[in-house]
Amino acid sequence: MKSILITGGNGQLGECIQSIEKQFGNGNTFSYLTVDDLDITNPSQVASVVDSYKPDYIINCAAYTAVDKAEADKDLAYAINAHGAENLAKVCKEKEIILIHVSTDFVFGDAPPIPLTEEMTAYPSGVYGASKLAGEQLVQQNMDNYFILRTSWLYSEFQNNFLKTMLRLGKERDELSVVFDQAGTPTYAKDLAEVILYIINSGSNAYGLYHFSNEGVTSWYDFAFEIFKLSNTAINLKPITSDQFPTPAKRPNYSVMNKNKIKQNFDIQIKHWTISLAECIKNT
């Protein structure tokens, strides 16, 4: 039986792990820590808390995820996403703990319109993506026994996300405009949680950087269209371009990830995003 510590345990992914723990936890012991329990930006607290729990694995779900606010809050974004990850990596190296660190497709800013592989050079276009890329690099520099999982367009029935926002706006408005010129793949956080637990249960030492999202490609407009269709929400949905909806942080125009590496190394099948979305809406 393994001991597993989850940082950011009350966030979207942490809650998803908790929701499937009994089904996929394999009898392991899970400890979900909030920022009040563990501030990963505090190196001495990281060392003390980890020494107290003595985990075999740490799943780092703690992150600064406010993409637009990060543009004006650079120091805090880097403190959490970069140096927080570094603090965990150093303790994991010292204590021989395996680290599973969650990252993002935002490390690719103006990427070419081809499926993005782990070997491709990342060029973030904003503070959030740059801070997450720095976190990846600091993990890689400070330890060897890690799994870094980049994911994209994460949603679930928990916390705040695009799905929850669309469902709320669908009740409040008769008309809504959503950008159609940004392509990516929605990812059900429960599917990501399952893969994380599968990696742990496998005992694999195929450490490294991996891409994981659901299958398929869509735009934010089409994602919203499917949400309203599956939830039987009547609304006049209009497609607009990114320049018609300016934001402080520039979003990637194309962030569809190639998932061949994780599928081959762990022999997993990945659901199409529409199938997972339908499952999530049933649970919402």
- Domains with residue ranges and CATH for the chain: 3-160+186-214+256-271 (3.40.50.720)
**pLDDT grade for 32, boundaries at 50, 70 and 90:** very high
- Selected catalytic residue, list 32, 128, 146, 155: 128
Residue 209 in tokens: 């950087």
Calpha distance 131→138 (Å, rounded): 11
- Counting Cα atoms < 13 Å in the Cβ hemisphere of 9 gives 17
**pTM confidence score:** 0.97
pLDDT level of residue 109 (50, 70, 90 thresholds): confident
- CA-CA distance, 212 to 209, in Å (whole number)? 10
Tokens standing for 267? 């022999």
Tens of pLDDT, residue by residue over 193-249, are 999 999 999 999 999 999 999 999 999 999 999 999 999 999 999 999 999 988 998
At which residue do the structure tokens 């936890």 appear? 25
Q: Name the residue among 191, 181, 239 with its Cα closest to residue 215.
A: 191
- pLDDT exceeds cutoff 90 at 74: yes
Residue among 85, 211, 112 at smallest CA distance from 152: 211
CB 60 within 8 A of CB 85: yes
Tell me, yes or no, if 128 is annotated catalytic: yes
